[in-house]
Structure 1
Amino acid sequence: MKRKAALVLAIAFSVLCLLVMAGCGKSGQQKHIALVFSHEPARWTEGAQMLKEQLEKDGMAVDLMIFTSDDEQKKYVEKAVSDHADCIVLAGGDIKNMGEGLAKAKEKNIPVIDYDSLTPDTDSVTYYVTFDNYGVGEAMGKYIEQKMNLRGGAGPFHIEFFSGSDTDSNAKLMYQGTYDVLKPYFDKGQLKTLSGQSDYASSAIKNWDGKNAQKRMEELVSAYYQSANLDIVVAASDGIAYGVIDGLVGYHGSWPLITGQDADKKALDYIAQGKMAFSIQKPSLILNQKCIRVIKAVVDGSQPEINDDKTYNNGKVTVPTYLCIPRIIDKENLSEVQ
């Protein structure tokens, strides 16, 4: 009986070791993943929690650090490097806060994966996992084209752009995707921007901050839309759209078509109420599934799957990328996500 009990214990111990080793890679050491995520937008923090839970289930050690300031971002990136993380996953922020930390990560051969926001002006980023941001902008433009019957010659309409932060390369790609669709209608006079601020640089909203969008919208209403209708607002995110809506308090014309991105609960409510026309849904689950595959590949020393090695140049290097596919949510399919 004692021999049988000892044998059972030995088998159980062996199984436990195998389960632990499953998440430890070739070296037998448990892999350590550092997640350094901005607190905005909300879907990033939700995605980070989901990533942490799944990676821990897969046997990895995960350090989740959510930053709310420049100082915190700098500190967390440097902590990830000093802790000898096997991989750093980074979402959002500004290169000026973390350039030194990322340079040290490269020196120590720590792979860095950008999550849904490409870090500019660094050669330290190894891979990028995101949605097709040019495609997001293109989808916005095509929706406007269809709903406003631009192909049928309708117009002229007044349109204003509220683009994403100029520190985020995604924002420029989104803007370009939208503008490329709409440019022919500017050329034909069907679309007009009374403010003259139709380019990316002048329409960018610092830090994607809704309060900055609100302030700019109030200024535009006061200067240009006291007697003229504002027909379309291309808002690059739900948060920016909320600021636009708050900034329309002094506007008394017909309600504009307002775009959005992220499809959070408030945006879905606004779509139902008619305050927003649509939002772009970018499900964290889909993004995380692809990101986890890339993480596992890099910590095991293998080549991850990518589907774009040409588009995403951050000013220093072209970063190998996996692009996920987003979708538009408006009143027609709202019931599918509520």
Structure 2
Amino acid sequence: MKTRFGKLVCVCAALCLLLSAMFAAGCGNDAHQKKIALVFSHEPQRWTDGAQMMKESLESDGMAVDLLIFHTDEEQAAMLTQAVDEKPDCIVLAGGDIKNFRDSLEKAKEQHIPIVDYDGLTQDTDAVSYYVTFDNYGVGEAMGKYIVQKMNLRTGGGPYSIEFFSGSDTDSNAKLMYQGAYDVLNPYLESGQLRVPSGQSDYAASAIKNWDGKNAEARMKELVANHYQSQPLDIVVAASDGIAYGVIDGLAGYGGTWPLITGQDADKKALGCIQSGKMAFSIQKDPAVLNQKCIRMIKAVVDGSQPEINDVTTYNNGVITVPTYLCLPRIIDKDNLSAVSK
């Protein structure tokens, strides 16, 4: 009996060990669940909407996603530090200035955590692995070509006055957009068909700090006071809808014919401005396209495979040229406004 009892104890012990091993294996699967950190600026709204959409999609595929939305430089620094400390399999970063989080990026690099930049390239670092955005030089080109067509510049239209309201001087996208528009318009500046009464035609002079509409409004008021009391303003190349709203507000004291004002993002307010004639058009960057490409990039990164890339030459951040996927934008004006979902 003792022998049989001893055998029974051994069998039970073996079963317990087997069950423990199975339980541990199950816990091991949870422990190796892929973890993603999304560290996003609260502006523009399409970024935060996109981050939420990506979170839900990635979680439905079994990943753990930490969504961190920052409003200030201090918040971003703290959130990125938190994200790196939790050692995720990938960090997606949207917006901000590297001076706020350089140490965290260096730590991420040391720990071999891939960084994917979303619609804004982080400057002066080799810690970024990939970048997904829209063709920002192409956005600027589209703006310039629209102006050329609408103002009949190819057939000798003009002379017209034009002012540039570029994006933030810390944003590589903004510089590419400016360059795309300027390259198209420069022949007409050289011919005299376009002129810049303020003299502020270069990128640095026309940059609007932080893409802030209030800064654009203040600059527009100054231009009206100093240059447009007795002459018309015909064209404003505004790099975003938010900047365009600032331009519109800054024109409150302007009594001339309303100018052609560009925009970018095609948000609901911009569509209303296009309908009312306050803006000529906006560039739509379909967030669904950008988000799906970013999701595919994240999945490839965490699986250890090569993400889809279509540009390996354009996006140099001052240290490295970052492998990039470029999505295609489109122009929204009164002609196709009805086709855009509001």
Under a length normalisation based on structure 2, what TM-score does the superposition of the two structures give? 0.91
Q: Paired residue for 2:318, among 315, 318, 323?
A: 315
Alpha-carbon distance in 2 for matches of 1:81, 1:215: 39
Q: Paired residue for 2:107, among 95, 98, 104?
A: 104
**Equivalent residue, structure 1, for 2:70:** 67
Alpha-carbon distance in 2 for matches of 1:177, 1:219: 26
Shift, 1:313, TM fit = 0.2
Shift, 1:82, TM fit = 0.2
Shift, 1:100, TM fit = 0.7
What are the equivalent positions in structure 2 for 1:1-338 lying under 5 Å apart?
29-337=32-340, 338=342
Alpha-carbon distance in 1 for matches of 2:54, 2:35: 13
Shift, 1:274, TM fit = 0.3
Alpha-carbon distance in 1 for matches of 2:237, 2:45: 20
2:101 aligned counterpart, secondary structure: helix
Alpha-carbon distance in 2 for matches of 1:225, 1:52: 48
Shift, 1:85, TM fit = 1.1
Shift, 1:283, TM fit = 1.0
Alpha-carbon distance in 2 for matches of 1:222, 1:42: 32
**Equivalent residue, structure 2, for 1:3:** none
Alpha-carbon distance in 1 for matches of 2:215, 2:81: 30
Please give the per-residue CA displacement for 1:30-65, whole angstroms capped at 9, x wherever unaligned. 111000000111111111111111111111111101
**Equivalent residue, structure 2, for 1:7:** none
Shift, 1:329, TM fit = 0.3
Shift, 1:29, TM fit = 1.2
Q: Report the AA paired with residue 320 of structure 1.
A: P
1:305 aligned counterpart, secondary structure: coil
Alpha-carbon distance in 1 for matches of 2:78, 2:35: 18
Shift, 1:326, TM fit = 0.3
Alpha-carbon distance in 1 for matches of 2:240, 2:61: 33
Alpha-carbon distance in 2 for matches of 1:264, 1:148: 25
2:279 aligned counterpart, secondary structure: coil
Alpha-carbon distance in 2 for matches of 1:145, 1:116: 27
Alpha-carbon distance in 2 for matches of 1:52, 1:227: 53
Shift, 1:251, TM fit = 0.3
2:122 aligned counterpart, secondary structure: coil
CA RMSD of aligned residues (A): 1.5
Please give the per-residue CA displacement for 1:120-154, whole angstroms capped at 9, x wherever unaligned. 10100000000000000000000000000000110
* Identical aligned residues as a percent: 74
Alpha-carbon distance in 1 for matches of 2:221, 2:78: 36
1:84 aligned counterpart, secondary structure: coil
Q: Report the AA paired with residue 191 of structure 1.
A: L
Larger radius of gyration: 2
Structure 1 unaligned regions, length at least 5: 1-16
Q: Report the AA paired with residue 51 of structure 1.
A: M
Q: Report the AA paired with residue 280 of structure 1.
A: I
Shift, 1:296, TM fit = 0.4
